[in-house]
Chains A and B, each alone.
Chain A
Amino acid sequence: MKRYEIVIVGGGSAGIAAAIAAYNNGCKDILLLEKDAELGGILLQCIHNGFGLHRFGEELAGPAYAEKWKDMLKDTSVDVRLNTTVIHLYNDKTLTYVNPTEGYVTIQAKAIVLALGCRERSRGAIGTPGYRPSGVWTAGTAQKYLNMQGYMVGRRVFILGSGDIGLIMARRMVLEGAEVLGVAEIMPYSNGLPRNMKQCLDDFDIPLYLSHTVTDIRGRDRLNGITVSRVDDSLQPIAGTEMDFNVDTLLMSVGLIPDTALLTEAGITLHPKTKGAVVDEHMMTDIPGIFSCGNGLHVHDLVDFVSMEGEEAGLAAARYVSGELKRSKRYAVSAGEGVNYVLPSYISPASMEDGLDIKLRVKNNARDVRLVLRQGDKPIKEIKKLRVAPSEMEKVKVTRKELADISGDMILSVEE
């Protein structure tokens, strides 16, 4: 069986960044496996701009952002296999991949970085009533047809869910001459980034129906209409509020879920909220030497953050391989009042990097609040926020010094 120091699964933004970071931190025996024919992952179909502001200080289109990273990867000797799908992952850090030239190959690694990306929640998963005609797609699938293949999926479009891909596709379909009749969002607030609300809906006069959802899908062959209803506080449709829309296309932008089939097989513990792995501050899962990062760990808002997390995981993997990744007493960090999830789930104050971002998502929109990290009643760190929203990931930076006196588990909450 062939052995590698580090194997990275997934050649999207997180995987490429992880490979480069691992290489630049001393590991020269790296294999990067990518299922598609090209590196770049989902960025390749995101032809709109807005990528790279944090990382490169400029607004790039998805493929251009990917190109920058691919160029950096060219300066390394990372071994890249394309058209290569990983089929099995085991807890002894062996994995089996397949591609058309080598067939099925089982290899072992000292460290594995999983950069698996996420999938879109489908219509079936949310149980939207009605028929099952063609013309109902996830927004990302429609984006692939449109931007990668040059095909229009429809002419009269409605969008369910205000996730960013849905908003981006609303604008994209209008620019290609389709009519977008509206976007329905079941929550009383939008799930997309504010800039996308403005640039994709407001600028094109596309109505946003908050607290609404699709309650019927019509058409036995191709979609020919939908019903949209208002929902009550418990998100149940209210009778008598139905509006019919005569559309041929319904795009779903109702959530992204980390891709974790491989993790389940290896027996890696999953986080009930993020649906990705439970990790410590080095992005390491509960199997030592297996790391996870990017949208395959938890869903991010911006690709810049995905890349940064990939770099953190790549660095940690390199340090794990060289034996520098010491483990010390660790403490749990959990989500308190008003917080949906925090990441990482564990921190070892004695061995962490100095200046660690604890990432979190809040449960509700709020103004003038504080994000407070406590051990018991004792506040360790707090930061003030003018506004917080579930659609925007927040970070609380902690230093080694701030955590020096920790003696128990921590809770991060939103406080008035």
Chain B
Amino acid sequence: MYDIIIIGAGIIGSFIAHDLSKRKCDVLVIDKEADIANGASMANSAIVHAGYDPKPGTLKAKLNVRGNRMYPGICKELGEPYVRKSAFVVATDDSESRILDKLKAQAEDREIEYRDISGEEARALEPNLSENVIRALEFPTTGIIYPWNIAIALMEEAVLNGVRLKLSEKVEKIDCLSQEKTGVSSSDGPAYLVTTDKGSYESRYVINAAGVNADTIYGMALGHEPDYNITPRRGEYYVLDEMREPVVSRVIYPVPGPAGKGVLVVPTIHNNILLGPNSLPVDDKDANCNTADALSYVKESVKKTVDNIPFDKVIRCFAGLRPSGDRGDFVIEESKTLKGFVNVACIDSPGLASAPAIAEYVVDEVMKDAFAYDKKAEYVHRKPIICMNALTDDEKNRLIKENPDYGEIVCRCCIVSKGEIIDAIRRPAGATTVKGVKKRVGPGLGRCQGGFCEPLVVDILAKELGIDKTEVRYDSKDSVMLMGMTKTVNKKEAVRS
């Protein structure tokens, strides 16, 4: 029996698991995906927003501001990059300028650092900003991160400290074991039985951090419709190739509208640029596909704020689904009818920016009395990741002397060595798929999109996991890559047998 089962290994589930791994309790994390952070945490704008725009009085406002302040310290602790990139919210006419007035007042209220500057001043700092821009608010505390790598780092540390992680397991049924079906266990026994396609697990508490599927999961436990509903909002993006001088050096936001923050131009940690997202409600919770209409909408929208975007540098398009709920705010509360069942749901924007504060709020406020597990005396931090690109040539050469794999370049777009890929596979909560390797260390993220390095990555995965190359998956168990051997080889096999 577990004390707590967390459903969902996205950034929210990972932060909560990490928080709980510091306490004396048994925690199990279950996710239907083949890897940590494969849903909304994988496909988003990768920004830690400053926190000026959520509606006053909402959890979103409170937790975004708090999350933004927590991130730099957490990233430092985990050894993951956090870059305080700064951002402009730009107005192109008087009505948009009035929205900036509102944001400015909210920033004042929330004690968020800002500057109010003219279009000219903004263009002096960002030469590619459109002539249309008449005014900008600068928010210097806006940060950029690699969301999935933070989730992976958190989960790795959680696993090192005793949390169990089960990936590729889909929750199919949740039974409430108490007599009154209230979730309260009669004695010290379990209150919930969570059944997946692979097994059954008992626990005292369930934390539902299932992203777009959180309402479905809650419905399973309730046996009827839950009191919130999630309609995913799809956002589509372009990724531009790494450039020596990216078109912007800050995040550029238009003024926010009813559909959200609008279409952004976002520099990433490795000098790529993200363009997007649009925001379209979709019924299908798996519909993270790209569409021609949305992509052209994104293209047109970014031109309103930024000039000279090199669209010939597009290397990829992707789409993500925001788990948007119908209450206009995050739903972070213990179920009113099922005691010990905690919903951490409807975590759309600014969910990523709020994530550390969400975990803190769940553990230290919402479930304060219930999760009164003592802190562990000893806590194991994860081993720092060896990132060759961040080292001096002397440091690199010391490592290569010890292990020549660090001198064998597999991914030439992002300069990733075989040694770093093997590390990513061998670490706790390590990569088991091509996509998992790509997320952790980068081969496939660059301009060749895996064209050169993917066969090498497949080779390394097969060797490290002790499986045949035909068993290597891109991501899920059904995402088959190689379908078999060629005729010639088959014949040879036949002769041998």
- Stretch from B48-56, B61-69, B226-234, B451-459 at the A interface: B451-459
Interface-central residue, A103, A119, A141, A177, by most chain B CB under 10 Å: A103
Partner of B486, one of A98, A128, A150, A154: A150
- Stretch from B92-100, B206-214, B335-343, B467-475 at the A interface: B467-475
Given the interface contacts A124-B239, A129-B289, A134-B474, does A98 sit within 8 Å of B407 by beta carbon? yes
Cβ-defined contact, A125 with B314, below 8 A = yes
Verify if B24 is at the interface (C-beta below 8 Å from A).
no
Verify if B292 is at the interface (C-beta below 8 Å from A).
yes
Verify if A144 is at the interface (C-beta below 8 Å from B).
yes
Q: How far is the CA of A150 from the CA of B480 in the complex (A)?
A: 16
Given contacts A131-B289, A149-B459, 12 further A-B contacts (CB under 8 A): A83-B408, A96-B393, A100-B400, A100-B407, A119-B447, A120-B448, A125-B314, A127-B290, A131-B288, A220-B286, A221-B476, A265-B244
Given the interface contacts A124-B314, A129-B289, A151-B485, does A104 sit within 8 Å of B397 by beta carbon? yes
Binding site for A on B (CB under 8 A): 238-239, 244, 286, 288-292, 295, 314-318, 393, 396-397, 400-401, 404-405, 407-409, 412-413, 415, 434, 447-452, 454-455, 459, 469-470, 473-489
Q: How far is the CA of A137 from the CA of B455 in the complex (A)?
A: 11
Verify if A271 is at the interface (C-beta below 8 Å from B).
no
- What are the nearest 6 A-B pairs in CB distance? A124-B316, A100-B404, A221-B478, A134-B474, A103-B397, A122-B449
CB distance from A180 to the nearest CB of B (A): 15
Please give me the residue from chain A that is nearest to B404 by CB atom: A100
Partner of B400, one of A103, A106, A146: A103
Is the contact region of chain B dominated by helix, strand, or loop, or is it mixed? mixed
Annotate A378-410 by CB proximity to B: 1 below 8 A, 0 otherwise. 000000000000000000000000000000000
Partner of B482, one of A133, A140, A151: A151
- CB contacts (< 8 Å) of A120 on chain B: these are 448, 451
Verify if A53 is at the interface (C-beta below 8 Å from B).
no
Could you give 22 example pairs across A and B, Cβ below 8 Å? A83-B408, A85-B409, A85-B415, A98-B400, A101-B404, A102-B407, A104-B407, A119-B452, A122-B316, A124-B449, A125-B314, A127-B314, A129-B295, A130-B290, A131-B288, A132-B318, A133-B479, A150-B489, A151-B470, A153-B481, A153-B482, A261-B412
Q: How far is the CA of A281 from the CA of B1 in the complex (A)?
A: 76
Cβ-defined contact, B315 with A138, below 8 A = no
Partner of B484, one of A151, A222, A261: A151
Verify if A155 is at the interface (C-beta below 8 Å from B).
yes
Cβ-defined contact, B475 with A221, below 8 A = yes
Q: How far is the CA of A149 from the CA of B486 in the complex (A)?
A: 9
- CB contacts (< 8 Å) of B488 on chain A: these are 150
- CB contacts (< 8 Å) of B291 on chain A: these are 129
Cβ-defined contact, B412 with A215, below 8 A = no
Verify if A204 is at the interface (C-beta below 8 Å from B).
no
- CB contacts (< 8 Å) of A222 on chain B: these are 478-480
Cβ-defined contact, B483 with A125, below 8 A = no
Cβ-defined contact, A103 with B401, below 8 A = yes
- CB contacts (< 8 Å) of B413 on chain A: these are 261
CB distance from B122 to the nearest CB of A (A): 28
Cβ-defined contact, A134 with B479, below 8 A = yes
Cβ-defined contact, A176 with B487, below 8 A = yes
Given the interface contacts A98-B407, A265-B244, does A119 sit within 8 Å of B481 by beta carbon? no
Given the interface contacts A103-B396, A103-B397, A140-B451, does A127 sit within 8 Å of B407 by beta carbon? no
CB distance from B450 to the nearest CB of A (A): 7
Please give me the residue from chain B that is nearest to A155 by CB atom: B483
Please give me the residue from chain A that is nearest to B397 by CB atom: A103
Verify if A107 is at the interface (C-beta below 8 Å from B).
no
Annotate A32-57 by CB proximity to B: 1 below 8 A, 0 otherwise. 00010000000000000000000000
Verify if A332 is at the interface (C-beta below 8 Å from B).
no
Verify if A152 is at the interface (C-beta below 8 Å from B).
yes
Cβ-defined contact, A106 with B485, below 8 A = no
- CB contacts (< 8 Å) of B454 on chain A: these are 141
Q: How far is the CA of A119 from the CA of B473 in the complex (A)?
A: 24
Is the contact region of chain A dominated by helix, strand, or loop, or is it mixed? mixed
CB distance from B438 to the nearest CB of A (A): 12
Verify if A264 is at the interface (C-beta below 8 Å from B).
yes
Please give me the residue from chain B that is nearest to A265 by CB atom: B244
Once A and B bind, how many residue pairs between them come within 8 Å at the CB atom?
149
Given the interface contacts A150-B488, A221-B476, A264-B244, does A125 sit within 8 Å of B315 by beta carbon? yes
Q: How far is the CA of A152 from the CA of B449 in the complex (A)?
A: 20
Q: How far is the CA of A164 from the CA of B315 in the complex (A)?
A: 22
Cβ-defined contact, A129 with B292, below 8 A = yes
CB distance from B119 to the nearest CB of A (A): 30
Q: How far is the CA of A145 from the CA of B434 in the complex (A)?
A: 15
Verify if A123 is at the interface (C-beta below 8 Å from B).
yes
Cβ-defined contact, A152 with B486, below 8 A = yes
- CB contacts (< 8 Å) of B487 on chain A: these are 176-177
- CB contacts (< 8 Å) of A102 on chain B: these are 407
Given the interface contacts A100-B408, A124-B449, A215-B292, does A149 sit within 8 Å of B315 by beta carbon? no
Cβ-defined contact, A106 with B408, below 8 A = no
Q: How far is the CA of A177 from the CA of B491 in the complex (A)?
A: 13
Partner of A134, one of B288, B408, B473: B473
CB distance from A220 to the nearest CB of B (A): 6
- CB contacts (< 8 Å) of B415 on chain A: these are 85, 87
Cβ-defined contact, B451 with A141, below 8 A = yes
Cβ-defined contact, B407 with A149, below 8 A = no
CB distance from A242 to the nearest CB of B (A): 12
Q: How far is the CA of A146 from the CA of B487 in the complex (A)?
A: 10
CB distance from B291 to the nearest CB of A (A): 5
Cβ-defined contact, A119 with B451, below 8 A = yes
Q: How far is the CA of A76 from the CA of B489 in the complex (A)?
A: 37
CB distance from B157 to the nearest CB of A (A): 29
Q: How far is the CA of A264 from the CA of B289 in the complex (A)?
A: 33
CB distance from A267 to the nearest CB of B (A): 9
Verify if A344 is at the interface (C-beta below 8 Å from B).
no
Partner of B317, one of A100, A124, A149, A221: A124
Cβ-defined contact, A98 with B409, below 8 A = yes
Cβ-defined contact, A150 with B485, below 8 A = yes
- CB contacts (< 8 Å) of A155 on chain B: these are 483
Q: How far is the CA of A99 from the CA of B407 in the complex (A)?
A: 5
Cβ-defined contact, A144 with B289, below 8 A = no
CB distance from B308 to the nearest CB of A (A): 14
- CB contacts (< 8 Å) of A85 on chain B: these are 409, 412, 415
Cβ-defined contact, A122 with B451, below 8 A = yes
Verify if A163 is at the interface (C-beta below 8 Å from B).
no
Verify if A237 is at the interface (C-beta below 8 Å from B).
yes
Please give me the residue from chain B that is nearest to A275 by CB atom: B312
Q: How far is the CA of A220 from the CA of B474 in the complex (A)?
A: 11
Cβ-defined contact, A152 with B475, below 8 A = no
Annotate A200-222 by CB proximity to B: 1 below 8 A, 0 otherwise. 00000000000000010100111
CB distance from B461 to the nearest CB of A (A): 13
CB distance from B289 to the nearest CB of A (A): 5
CB distance from B446 to the nearest CB of A (A): 9
Partner of A122, one of B315, B409, B473, B489: B315
Partner of B455, one of A96, A100, A141, A261: A141
- CB contacts (< 8 Å) of B316 on chain A: these are 122, 124-125
- From 11 to 68 in chain A, residues with beta carbon under 8 angstroms from any chain B beta carbon are 35
Q: How far is the CA of A85 from the CA of B393 in the complex (A)?
A: 14
CB distance from A416 to the nearest CB of B (A): 32
Partner of A129, one of B290, B404, B475, B486: B290
- CB contacts (< 8 Å) of A101 on chain B: these are 404, 407
Please give me the residue from chain A that is nearest to B398 by CB atom: A103
Q: How far is the CA of A138 from the CA of B487 in the complex (A)?
A: 22
- From 248 to 292 in chain A, residues with beta carbon under 8 angstroms from any chain B beta carbon are 248, 261, 264-265
Q: How far is the CA of A144 from the CA of B456 in the complex (A)?
A: 10
Cβ-defined contact, A154 with B400, below 8 A = no
CB distance from B178 to the nearest CB of A (A): 37
CB distance from B321 to the nearest CB of A (A): 12
- CB contacts (< 8 Å) of A119 on chain B: these are 447-448, 451-452
Cβ-defined contact, B479 with A221, below 8 A = yes
Given the interface contacts A138-B451, A149-B469, does A127 sit within 8 Å of B485 by beta carbon? no
